[in-house]
Structure 1
Amino acid sequence: MNFRHSERRRSFPSTDPASLMSFCAVSGGRSSRCASVSGLLRAEIIYPGMFTSNDARLLTILADLAGAAAENARLYQWTQELSITDGLTRLYLRRFFNQRLEEEINRFLEFKAPFTFCILDLDHFKRINDKMGHLGGDQVLMQLADLLRGEARVTDILCRFGGEEFALLLPYTPSQSGLIMAERIRQHVAQRVFQVLKDEINITISVGVAGCPEHAQTAEGIIAAADKALYLAKRDGRNRVVLSGEEA
Protein backbone atom coordinates (compact mmCIF):
# COMPACT_ATOMS: atom_id res chain seq x y z
CA MET A 1 0.00 0.00 0.00
CA ASN A 2 1.64 3.23 -1.13
CA PHE A 3 0.15 6.66 -0.39
CA ARG A 4 3.06 8.61 -1.87
CA HIS A 5 0.90 10.01 -4.68
CA SER A 6 -2.27 10.69 -2.70
CA GLU A 7 -3.44 14.28 -2.16
CA ARG A 8 -2.77 13.94 1.56
CA ARG A 9 0.75 12.74 0.96
CA ARG A 10 1.57 15.55 -1.49
CA SER A 11 0.51 18.21 1.03
CA PHE A 12 3.81 17.78 2.84
CA PRO A 13 6.96 19.33 1.39
CA SER A 14 9.17 16.31 2.04
CA THR A 15 8.90 13.29 -0.25
CA ASP A 16 11.11 10.99 1.81
CA PRO A 17 9.38 9.11 4.63
CA ALA A 18 10.93 9.42 8.06
CA SER A 19 9.35 6.14 9.16
CA LEU A 20 8.97 3.18 6.85
CA MET A 21 7.81 -0.40 7.41
CA SER A 22 7.52 -3.17 4.83
CA PHE A 23 5.92 -6.58 5.30
CA CYS A 24 5.92 -9.59 3.00
CA ALA A 25 2.47 -10.72 1.88
CA VAL A 26 2.77 -14.44 2.63
CA SER A 27 0.42 -17.15 1.41
CA GLY A 28 0.21 -20.55 3.05
CA GLY A 29 0.88 -19.30 6.60
CA ARG A 30 4.10 -17.75 7.89
CA SER A 31 4.99 -20.83 9.96
CA SER A 32 4.23 -23.29 7.17
CA ARG A 33 7.01 -24.97 5.20
CA CYS A 34 4.87 -24.33 2.10
CA ALA A 35 4.68 -20.57 2.69
CA SER A 36 5.49 -18.36 -0.28
CA VAL A 37 5.84 -14.61 -0.75
CA SER A 38 3.21 -13.16 -3.09
CA GLY A 39 3.81 -9.44 -2.62
CA LEU A 40 5.01 -6.62 -0.39
CA LEU A 41 3.00 -4.29 1.87
CA ARG A 42 4.70 -0.92 2.49
CA ALA A 43 3.65 1.78 4.97
CA GLU A 44 5.17 5.27 5.33
CA ILE A 45 4.86 8.14 7.81
CA ILE A 46 6.71 11.46 7.42
CA TYR A 47 7.35 11.79 11.15
CA PRO A 48 10.13 9.70 12.70
CA GLY A 49 9.34 7.09 15.31
CA MET A 50 5.57 7.16 14.77
CA PHE A 51 5.04 3.42 14.18
CA THR A 52 4.12 1.39 17.26
CA SER A 53 4.17 -2.34 17.94
CA ASN A 54 0.39 -2.35 17.45
CA ASP A 55 0.90 -0.83 14.00
CA ALA A 56 3.36 -3.60 13.20
CA ARG A 57 0.90 -6.29 14.31
CA LEU A 58 -1.92 -4.71 12.30
CA LEU A 59 0.21 -4.41 9.19
CA THR A 60 1.34 -8.02 9.57
CA ILE A 61 -2.30 -9.11 9.65
CA LEU A 62 -3.11 -6.99 6.59
CA ALA A 63 -0.11 -8.43 4.74
CA ASP A 64 -1.24 -11.97 5.57
CA LEU A 65 -4.76 -11.20 4.36
CA ALA A 66 -3.37 -9.76 1.13
CA GLY A 67 -1.22 -12.87 0.66
CA ALA A 68 -4.21 -15.15 1.21
CA ALA A 69 -6.27 -13.13 -1.28
CA ALA A 70 -3.51 -13.37 -3.88
CA GLU A 71 -3.23 -17.12 -3.36
CA ASN A 72 -7.00 -17.56 -3.66
CA ALA A 73 -6.96 -15.62 -6.93
CA ARG A 74 -4.13 -17.81 -8.23
CA LEU A 75 -5.98 -20.99 -7.24
CA TYR A 76 -9.19 -19.74 -8.85
CA GLN A 77 -7.36 -19.06 -12.11
CA TRP A 78 -5.76 -22.51 -11.92
CA THR A 79 -9.10 -24.27 -11.39
CA GLN A 80 -10.62 -22.27 -14.24
CA GLU A 81 -7.83 -23.42 -16.54
CA LEU A 82 -8.28 -27.03 -15.40
CA SER A 83 -11.98 -26.86 -16.22
CA ILE A 84 -11.38 -25.94 -19.88
CA THR A 85 -8.07 -27.66 -20.73
CA ASP A 86 -7.16 -31.28 -21.40
CA GLY A 87 -4.81 -32.65 -18.77
CA LEU A 88 -2.64 -34.59 -21.23
CA THR A 89 -2.20 -32.18 -24.13
CA ARG A 90 -2.93 -28.86 -22.34
CA LEU A 91 -5.20 -27.94 -25.23
CA TYR A 92 -8.76 -26.74 -24.77
CA LEU A 93 -11.49 -29.26 -24.08
CA ARG A 94 -14.26 -29.75 -26.59
CA ARG A 95 -16.97 -28.08 -24.51
CA PHE A 96 -14.98 -24.83 -24.34
CA PHE A 97 -14.12 -25.12 -28.02
CA ASN A 98 -17.81 -25.48 -28.85
CA GLN A 99 -18.49 -22.19 -27.05
CA ARG A 100 -15.82 -20.45 -29.11
CA LEU A 101 -17.23 -21.96 -32.28
CA GLU A 102 -20.65 -20.54 -31.44
CA GLU A 103 -19.04 -17.15 -30.88
CA GLU A 104 -17.49 -17.28 -34.34
CA ILE A 105 -20.87 -18.20 -35.84
CA ASN A 106 -22.43 -15.18 -34.10
CA ARG A 107 -19.57 -12.98 -35.29
CA PHE A 108 -20.24 -14.07 -38.86
CA LEU A 109 -23.99 -13.46 -38.54
CA GLU A 110 -23.38 -9.95 -37.21
CA PHE A 111 -20.24 -8.83 -39.05
CA LYS A 112 -19.95 -11.33 -41.95
CA ALA A 113 -16.50 -12.37 -40.70
CA PRO A 114 -15.49 -15.68 -42.34
CA PHE A 115 -13.67 -18.45 -40.50
CA THR A 116 -12.30 -21.92 -41.17
CA PHE A 117 -12.75 -25.06 -39.08
CA CYS A 118 -10.42 -28.08 -39.30
CA ILE A 119 -10.60 -31.57 -37.81
CA LEU A 120 -7.22 -33.31 -37.63
CA ASP A 121 -7.01 -37.05 -37.02
CA LEU A 122 -3.84 -38.99 -36.19
CA ASP A 123 -3.54 -41.81 -38.73
CA HIS A 124 -3.28 -45.43 -37.50
CA PHE A 125 -3.16 -44.40 -33.86
CA LYS A 126 -4.36 -47.84 -32.75
CA ARG A 127 -1.22 -49.35 -34.26
CA ILE A 128 0.90 -46.99 -32.18
CA ASN A 129 -0.94 -47.98 -29.01
CA ASP A 130 -0.70 -51.68 -29.85
CA LYS A 131 3.03 -51.47 -30.55
CA MET A 132 4.18 -48.96 -27.94
CA GLY A 133 1.47 -49.15 -25.31
CA HIS A 134 -0.71 -46.36 -24.00
CA LEU A 135 2.28 -44.54 -22.50
CA GLY A 136 3.84 -44.34 -25.94
CA GLY A 137 0.52 -43.26 -27.42
CA ASP A 138 0.23 -40.49 -24.83
CA GLN A 139 3.71 -39.24 -25.69
CA VAL A 140 2.76 -39.05 -29.36
CA LEU A 141 -0.38 -37.08 -28.53
CA MET A 142 1.54 -34.65 -26.32
CA GLN A 143 4.23 -34.05 -28.94
CA LEU A 144 1.65 -33.64 -31.68
CA ALA A 145 -0.21 -31.12 -29.51
CA ASP A 146 3.02 -29.17 -29.01
CA LEU A 147 3.63 -29.13 -32.77
CA LEU A 148 0.09 -27.91 -33.46
CA ARG A 149 0.45 -25.24 -30.79
CA GLY A 150 3.58 -24.00 -32.51
CA GLU A 151 1.83 -23.86 -35.89
CA ALA A 152 -1.26 -22.00 -34.65
CA ARG A 153 -1.48 -18.23 -34.65
CA VAL A 154 -2.25 -16.24 -31.52
CA THR A 155 -5.89 -15.80 -32.57
CA ASP A 156 -6.44 -19.48 -33.47
CA ILE A 157 -8.19 -21.90 -31.11
CA LEU A 158 -6.91 -25.46 -30.68
CA CYS A 159 -8.62 -28.27 -28.85
CA ARG A 160 -8.45 -31.98 -28.27
CA PHE A 161 -11.65 -32.96 -30.00
CA GLY A 162 -11.69 -36.52 -28.73
CA GLY A 163 -9.22 -39.42 -28.56
CA GLU A 164 -6.67 -38.87 -31.32
CA GLU A 165 -8.72 -36.11 -32.97
CA PHE A 166 -7.86 -32.43 -32.72
CA ALA A 167 -9.77 -29.37 -33.90
CA LEU A 168 -8.47 -26.03 -35.11
CA LEU A 169 -10.58 -22.88 -35.41
CA LEU A 170 -9.18 -20.12 -37.62
CA PRO A 171 -11.07 -16.83 -37.08
CA TYR A 172 -11.21 -14.26 -39.91
CA THR A 173 -9.79 -16.86 -42.30
CA PRO A 174 -11.42 -17.80 -45.64
CA SER A 175 -11.51 -21.52 -46.37
CA GLN A 176 -8.85 -21.38 -49.09
CA SER A 177 -6.42 -19.76 -46.67
CA GLY A 178 -7.39 -22.31 -44.04
CA LEU A 179 -6.76 -25.09 -46.56
CA ILE A 180 -3.22 -23.78 -47.17
CA MET A 181 -2.53 -23.67 -43.44
CA ALA A 182 -3.90 -27.18 -42.92
CA GLU A 183 -1.68 -28.52 -45.71
CA ARG A 184 1.35 -26.85 -44.18
CA ILE A 185 0.59 -28.46 -40.82
CA ARG A 186 0.13 -31.87 -42.47
CA GLN A 187 3.53 -31.58 -44.15
CA HIS A 188 5.27 -30.51 -40.95
CA VAL A 189 3.77 -33.44 -39.04
CA ALA A 190 4.91 -35.90 -41.72
CA GLN A 191 8.44 -34.44 -41.67
CA ARG A 192 8.76 -34.48 -37.89
CA VAL A 193 10.58 -37.30 -36.08
CA PHE A 194 8.74 -38.14 -32.85
CA GLN A 195 10.73 -39.39 -29.85
CA VAL A 196 8.57 -42.07 -28.24
CA LEU A 197 9.96 -44.03 -25.30
CA LYS A 198 13.33 -45.15 -26.70
CA ASP A 199 12.27 -45.16 -30.35
CA GLU A 200 11.97 -42.62 -33.13
CA ILE A 201 8.85 -42.81 -35.26
CA ASN A 202 7.08 -40.88 -38.01
CA ILE A 203 3.36 -40.23 -38.02
CA THR A 204 0.85 -38.67 -40.39
CA ILE A 205 -2.45 -36.89 -40.00
CA SER A 206 -5.59 -36.56 -42.09
CA VAL A 207 -7.44 -33.25 -42.08
CA GLY A 208 -10.98 -32.23 -42.97
CA VAL A 209 -11.53 -28.53 -43.64
CA ALA A 210 -14.76 -26.53 -43.82
CA GLY A 211 -15.41 -22.81 -44.06
CA CYS A 212 -18.13 -20.45 -42.96
CA PRO A 213 -20.15 -19.23 -44.81
CA GLU A 214 -19.71 -21.37 -47.93
CA HIS A 215 -20.03 -24.83 -46.35
CA ALA A 216 -22.28 -24.12 -43.36
CA GLN A 217 -23.48 -21.29 -41.16
CA THR A 218 -24.23 -23.21 -37.97
CA ALA A 219 -21.90 -24.91 -35.51
CA GLU A 220 -23.47 -28.31 -36.15
CA GLY A 221 -23.29 -27.81 -39.90
CA ILE A 222 -19.65 -26.71 -39.96
CA ILE A 223 -18.59 -29.67 -37.78
CA ALA A 224 -20.51 -32.09 -39.99
CA ALA A 225 -18.96 -30.62 -43.16
CA ALA A 226 -15.41 -30.89 -41.79
CA ASP A 227 -16.09 -34.39 -40.47
CA LYS A 228 -17.29 -35.55 -43.89
CA ALA A 229 -14.17 -34.07 -45.50
CA LEU A 230 -12.04 -35.92 -42.93
CA TYR A 231 -13.83 -39.17 -43.82
CA LEU A 232 -12.92 -38.64 -47.48
CA ALA A 233 -9.29 -37.97 -46.57
CA LYS A 234 -9.05 -41.20 -44.60
CA ARG A 235 -11.01 -43.22 -47.15
CA ASP A 236 -8.65 -42.22 -49.93
CA GLY A 237 -5.41 -43.17 -48.25
CA ARG A 238 -4.88 -40.85 -45.26
CA ASN A 239 -2.05 -38.32 -44.88
CA ARG A 240 -3.98 -35.73 -46.85
CA VAL A 241 -6.14 -32.63 -46.50
CA VAL A 242 -9.62 -32.43 -48.00
CA LEU A 243 -11.78 -29.32 -48.25
CA SER A 244 -15.51 -29.80 -47.78
CA GLY A 245 -17.31 -30.19 -51.09
CA GLU A 246 -14.27 -31.56 -52.91
CA GLU A 247 -14.15 -35.15 -54.06
CA ALA A 248 -10.84 -36.56 -52.88
Structure 2
Amino acid sequence: MRLLADRIAERETTLLLLDVDFFKQANTNLEHVGGDQVLAQLADVVQSISREHDMTCRWGGEEFVILMPATGQDEGVVIAERIREAFGTSSVEIEDPAGGRPRVINKQRQMGAGFTVSIGVAVSPKHGVELSELKQRADLALEWAKRNGRNRVGVASDGGRRR
Protein backbone atom coordinates (compact mmCIF):
# COMPACT_ATOMS: atom_id res chain seq x y z
CA MET A 1 0.00 0.00 0.00
CA ARG A 2 2.90 2.36 0.66
CA LEU A 3 4.03 2.10 -2.97
CA LEU A 4 0.51 2.93 -4.14
CA ALA A 5 0.35 5.90 -1.75
CA ASP A 6 3.70 7.15 -3.08
CA ARG A 7 2.41 6.95 -6.67
CA ILE A 8 -0.77 8.81 -5.71
CA ALA A 9 1.18 11.56 -3.92
CA GLU A 10 3.65 12.21 -6.74
CA ARG A 11 1.11 13.31 -9.40
CA GLU A 12 -2.59 13.91 -9.84
CA THR A 13 -4.61 10.74 -9.49
CA THR A 14 -8.39 10.52 -9.75
CA LEU A 15 -10.50 8.01 -7.86
CA LEU A 16 -14.02 7.20 -9.08
CA LEU A 17 -16.48 5.43 -6.80
CA LEU A 18 -19.43 3.93 -8.72
CA ASP A 19 -22.65 2.66 -7.19
CA VAL A 20 -25.60 1.15 -9.09
CA ASP A 21 -28.73 3.14 -8.24
CA PHE A 22 -31.56 1.17 -6.61
CA PHE A 23 -29.55 -2.04 -6.96
CA LYS A 24 -31.30 -3.81 -4.08
CA GLN A 25 -34.66 -3.27 -5.78
CA ALA A 26 -33.31 -4.51 -9.12
CA ASN A 27 -31.67 -7.48 -7.41
CA THR A 28 -35.00 -8.40 -5.79
CA ASN A 29 -37.06 -7.91 -8.96
CA LEU A 30 -34.65 -9.77 -11.22
CA GLU A 31 -33.42 -12.28 -8.62
CA HIS A 32 -29.74 -12.60 -7.83
CA VAL A 33 -28.86 -13.98 -11.26
CA GLY A 34 -30.32 -10.87 -12.89
CA GLY A 35 -28.58 -8.62 -10.36
CA ASP A 36 -25.27 -10.30 -11.15
CA GLN A 37 -25.87 -9.67 -14.85
CA VAL A 38 -26.51 -5.98 -14.15
CA LEU A 39 -23.16 -5.80 -12.32
CA ALA A 40 -21.46 -7.66 -15.16
CA GLN A 41 -22.90 -5.11 -17.61
CA LEU A 42 -21.49 -2.25 -15.52
CA ALA A 43 -18.11 -4.02 -15.43
CA ASP A 44 -18.23 -4.36 -19.24
CA VAL A 45 -19.03 -0.66 -19.64
CA VAL A 46 -16.21 0.31 -17.26
CA GLN A 47 -13.77 -1.94 -19.07
CA SER A 48 -14.72 -0.50 -22.47
CA ILE A 49 -14.21 3.11 -21.30
CA SER A 50 -11.34 2.89 -18.82
CA ARG A 51 -7.77 3.07 -20.03
CA GLU A 52 -5.06 0.43 -19.90
CA HIS A 53 -3.30 2.00 -16.91
CA ASP A 54 -6.48 2.53 -14.85
CA MET A 55 -7.05 0.13 -11.95
CA THR A 56 -10.60 -1.13 -11.43
CA CYS A 57 -12.00 -3.33 -8.68
CA ARG A 58 -15.35 -4.26 -7.21
CA TRP A 59 -15.69 -2.67 -3.80
CA GLY A 60 -18.48 -4.38 -1.92
CA GLY A 61 -21.96 -5.27 -3.13
CA GLU A 62 -22.70 -2.97 -6.04
CA GLU A 63 -19.79 -0.53 -5.81
CA PHE A 64 -16.76 -0.30 -8.06
CA VAL A 65 -13.59 1.78 -7.58
CA ILE A 66 -11.49 3.05 -10.47
CA LEU A 67 -8.08 4.54 -9.68
CA MET A 68 -6.80 6.64 -12.57
CA PRO A 69 -3.11 7.63 -12.30
CA ALA A 70 -1.89 10.78 -14.06
CA THR A 71 -5.49 11.98 -14.39
CA GLY A 72 -6.75 15.37 -13.23
CA GLN A 73 -10.23 16.25 -12.06
CA ASP A 74 -11.57 17.51 -15.40
CA GLU A 75 -10.47 14.38 -17.28
CA GLY A 76 -11.76 12.18 -14.45
CA VAL A 77 -15.18 13.83 -14.59
CA VAL A 78 -15.32 13.35 -18.39
CA ILE A 79 -14.58 9.63 -17.98
CA ALA A 80 -17.14 9.35 -15.16
CA GLU A 81 -19.80 10.99 -17.35
CA ARG A 82 -18.98 8.62 -20.22
CA ILE A 83 -19.44 5.63 -17.91
CA ARG A 84 -22.68 7.04 -16.48
CA GLU A 85 -24.16 7.72 -19.92
CA ALA A 86 -23.04 4.41 -21.45
CA PHE A 87 -24.41 2.37 -18.55
CA GLY A 88 -27.68 4.31 -18.49
CA THR A 89 -28.38 3.70 -22.17
CA SER A 90 -27.11 0.15 -22.55
CA SER A 91 -29.21 -3.00 -22.47
CA VAL A 92 -28.71 -6.08 -20.38
CA GLU A 93 -29.72 -9.63 -21.22
CA ILE A 94 -31.33 -11.29 -18.21
CA GLU A 95 -31.19 -15.05 -18.36
CA ASP A 96 -34.22 -17.02 -17.25
CA PRO A 97 -33.15 -19.21 -14.31
CA ALA A 98 -35.70 -21.80 -15.45
CA GLY A 99 -33.97 -22.10 -18.82
CA GLY A 100 -36.46 -20.11 -20.88
CA ARG A 101 -35.62 -17.37 -23.35
CA PRO A 102 -33.52 -14.55 -21.93
CA ARG A 103 -35.09 -11.11 -21.65
CA VAL A 104 -33.32 -8.08 -23.09
CA ILE A 105 -34.05 -5.01 -21.02
CA ASN A 106 -33.27 -1.48 -22.05
CA LYS A 107 -32.60 -0.08 -18.63
CA GLN A 108 -33.94 3.43 -19.02
CA ARG A 109 -37.14 2.56 -20.86
CA GLN A 110 -38.24 -0.45 -18.84
CA MET A 111 -36.61 -0.16 -15.44
CA GLY A 112 -36.57 3.59 -14.82
CA ALA A 113 -33.78 4.54 -12.44
CA GLY A 114 -33.14 0.90 -11.53
CA PHE A 115 -30.12 0.54 -13.82
CA THR A 116 -28.40 3.87 -13.62
CA VAL A 117 -25.18 4.60 -11.79
CA SER A 118 -24.09 7.42 -9.50
CA ILE A 119 -20.40 8.28 -9.33
CA GLY A 120 -18.27 10.12 -6.77
CA VAL A 121 -14.99 11.73 -7.86
CA ALA A 122 -11.97 12.67 -5.72
CA VAL A 123 -8.51 13.79 -6.87
CA SER A 124 -5.12 13.70 -5.22
CA PRO A 125 -3.41 15.66 -3.92
CA LYS A 126 -6.32 18.13 -3.82
CA HIS A 127 -8.62 15.86 -1.76
CA GLY A 128 -5.93 13.79 -0.01
CA VAL A 129 -2.87 11.70 -0.76
CA GLU A 130 -3.78 8.46 1.00
CA LEU A 131 -6.05 6.00 -0.75
CA SER A 132 -8.33 5.93 2.29
CA GLU A 133 -8.70 9.74 2.15
CA LEU A 134 -9.57 9.68 -1.54
CA LYS A 135 -12.09 6.87 -1.01
CA GLN A 136 -13.71 8.78 1.85
CA ARG A 137 -13.97 12.01 -0.18
CA ALA A 138 -15.30 10.13 -3.23
CA ASP A 139 -17.86 8.45 -0.96
CA LEU A 140 -19.10 11.86 0.23
CA ALA A 141 -19.37 13.02 -3.40
CA LEU A 142 -21.27 9.82 -4.22
CA GLU A 143 -23.68 10.45 -1.33
CA TRP A 144 -24.26 13.96 -2.70
CA ALA A 145 -25.02 12.52 -6.17
CA LYS A 146 -27.54 10.09 -4.68
CA ARG A 147 -29.22 12.76 -2.53
CA ASN A 148 -29.56 15.02 -5.57
CA GLY A 149 -31.47 12.66 -7.83
CA ARG A 150 -29.08 9.79 -8.62
CA ASN A 151 -27.76 9.04 -12.11
CA ARG A 152 -25.20 11.82 -11.76
CA VAL A 153 -21.56 12.54 -11.04
CA GLY A 154 -20.57 14.25 -7.79
CA VAL A 155 -17.16 15.85 -7.26
CA ALA A 156 -15.52 16.01 -3.83
CA SER A 157 -16.06 19.42 -2.33
CA ASP A 158 -13.35 22.01 -2.03
CA GLY A 159 -15.30 24.95 -0.76
CA GLY A 160 -18.78 23.64 -1.49
CA ARG A 161 -18.50 23.09 -5.25
CA ARG A 162 -20.21 19.96 -6.46
CA ARG A 163 -21.19 18.91 -9.94
Match of 1:187 in 2: 85
Give the distance between the partners of 1:128 and 1:159, measured in 2 at CA: 21
Give the distance between the partners of 1:140 and 1:107, measured in 2 at CA: 33
SS at match of 1:206: strand
Given candidates 192, 199, 204, the residue that maps to 2:116 is: 204
Aligned-residue Cα RMSD (Å) equals: 1.4
Give the distance between the partners of 1:114 and 1:126, measured in 2 at CA: 34
Match of 2:150 in 1: 238
Give the distance between the partners of 2:106 and 2:25, measured in 1 at CA: 12
1:31-180 mapped onto 2 (5 Å cutoff): 99=1, 102-109=2-9, 112-180=10-78
SS at match of 1:214: coil
Tell whether 2:137 aligns with 1:225.
yes
Q: Which has the larger radius of gyration?
A: 1
Render the CA deviation track for 1:96-139: whole Å, top value 9, x for unaligned. Answer: xxx4xx53420244xx3110001000011111111110111111
Render the CA deviation track for 1:166-189: whole Å, top value 9, x for unaligned. Answer: 010100001111011101111111
Report the AA paired with residue 244 of structure 1.
A
| Contact 2:8 2:69 (C-alpha < 8 Å) held by counterparts | no
Runs of 4+, deviation exceeding 6 Å: none
Report the AA paired with residue 103 of structure 1.
L
Report the AA paired with residue 150 of structure 1.
S
Structure 1 unmatched ranges of 5 or more? 1-98
SS at match of 2:59: strand
Report the AA paired with residue 167 of structure 1.
V
| Contact 1:208 1:244 (C-alpha < 8 Å) held by counterparts | yes
**Bigger relative contact order (CA 8 A; separation at least 6):** 2
Provide the aligned length of Structure 1 versus Structure 2: 146
| Contact 1:104 1:115 (C-alpha < 8 Å) held by counterparts | no
Report the AA paired with residue 174 of structure 1.
G
TM-score, with normalisation over the residues of structure 1?
Answer: 0.56
Q: CA deviation at 1:247?
A: 3.6
Q: Kindly tell me: are residues 211 and 194 of structure 1, through their superposed partners in 2, closer, same or farther at Cα, counting changes over 3 Å?
A: same
SS at match of 1:234: helix
Report the AA paired with residue 191 of structure 1.
T
TM-score, with normalisation over the residues of structure 2?
Answer: 0.84
